[in-house]
Amino acid sequence: MPKKAYRTSDGKLALLNTRTDECLWSGRWTNGRENNRFDELYVHITKNGKRIFYVAYITYWQGESMGITVLDSETTDVQGWLLENYESLSEKEIARLSELGVTVEEDA
């Protein structure tokens, strides 16, 4: 599974690892079918309590590499991800994201 050493905006080192971090959402199953390539959303909580959200690209195809893309929690990257994937999230997943400070509220 993917892992990555990441330097935060304040210069501290965080070790992201899909084996130990909390998976908030997985695209492995879509419409009742298992996928061989998919994204998963994770959160890593540092010793100081900082939350680092990232998307892991998972593939089971030979010759393809898995990888991690960090979502900048100080900008709208995490909320943007939530907006793009809102329809595929369960109420439980939306509630957990809300607990972590990521929300989408209707303002229309």
Beta pairing partners, 4 = 16
What string of pLDDT tens digits covers the 108 residues of the chain? 788 999 988 899 999 999 999 999 998 887 778 888 899 999 999 998 999 999 999 998 888 898 999 997 665 688 889 999 999 999 999 999 999 988 877 777
Residue 108 lies in a domain: no
- Whole-model pTM: value is 0.88
Residue 104 lies in a domain: no
As for how many domains the chain has, the answer is: 1
Residue whose entry in the numeric block shows the structure tokens 């908030």? 24
For residue 52, what are the domain limits? 3-99
Residue 105 lies in a domain: no
